[in-house]
Amino acid sequence: MATLCRPAVSVPEHVITMEETLQLARTRHPDHPQLPLALRLIQNTGVRTRHIVQPIEETLRHPGFEIRNKLYESEAKARVPEVVRRALDDAETLTTDIDVIIYVSCTGFMMPSLTAWLINAMDFSSDTRQIPIAQLGCAAGGAAINRAHDFCTAYPEKNALIVACEFCSLCYQPTDLGVGSLLSNGLFGDGVAAAVVRGRGGTGVSLERNGSYLIPKTEEWIMYDVRATGFHFLLDKRVPATMEPLAPALHGLARQHGWNASELDFYIVHAGGPRILDDLSKFLHVPHSAFRFSRATLTEYGNIASAVVLDALRRLFDEGGAGHAARGLLAGFGPGITAEMALGRWQHTT
């Protein structure tokens, strides 16, 4: 069985608090007709702090998409290797043990992908396979876990490296003044995460089954409008209610495996916002505490897109992990509207 090992996570050094975010909204948009609503929505996220790659004064400027994308590339190259090294160490693996790198990101663009640069810069083998995923947004963390699981199922003696790199602050658009955009400005943060999925051995989540589900006719609910100024994030007001149609997919995957999704031992899910977690608790029939790791990520880092699932799992490791053979669910949600879901048991190795 493929085992998802301890993730390594890093967030940038620049911090913006909830109160600073609210004050910025008040001072930059004092005459906005829906400012009270936007402020209330931001407060309701529960995000206390977020980390960003630039000081807030620079983040609020828009020097153009070209400069921003170059900054995305330079920051990725500066920050990803250290996180990868920690993930390899935690999994007791070397670069030469890795057979595929799955790189997920939706906040910048590079071709060739950062995977090519990593192979050269960190001395991975030249025959390492590359799977860059750029357009699944927040669901990509779950998708990366599932594609690593698929790979290690097909090649049981091989290992996969997952890397999630998200600099959401580089997508800030000062001219986007819809309520959804103002909410996003107070919700998203920056972060880098990495984890190894070992085909054999390792301590962590032994992956047993995965699946994907797309809610029909919702592809415009979360999307980018790509313009000369870069990525303009569009968020439909119906998105927070999507757990009601997605919960049956989670229940269905568990039933296929002979499990009850309401009776598992741990839950690692994407923290898109408190409404998402509250509704998932309701429709999965589990206590709010079941999502404490996701809530902690949301509170301390905000929504760090594809890196959320890996950070929430890191917090489970920090708590000491789960009991041997404890059953769990991992899930990422994002554009489509798509759910990427996985089931596994906690595995200890000596």
Active site (catalytic) residues: 138
The residue assigned the tokens 């060739």 is: 112
Closest CA to 41 of 181, 203, 212, 221: 181
CB 24 within 8 A of CB 186: no
Strand partners of residue 330: 268, 342
Question: Quick one: CA dihedral 54, 71, 50, 226, positive or negative?
Answer: positive
Alpha carbon distance 204, 91 (integer Å): 9
CA 213 to chain centre: 17
Burial label for 189, CB within 10 Å (0-12, 13-18, 19+), is buried
Q: What angle do CA 212, 217, 222 make, to 5 degrees?
A: 75
The residue assigned the tokens 């097909």 is: 154
Alpha carbon distance 252, 140 (integer Å): 21
Q: What angle do CA 71, 104, 14 make, to 5 degrees?
A: 40
Strands (E), the chain: 3-4, 8-10, 14-17, 49-52, 100-104, 129-133, 159-167, 190-198, 204-218, 222-227, 230-235, 266-269, 327-334, 336-347
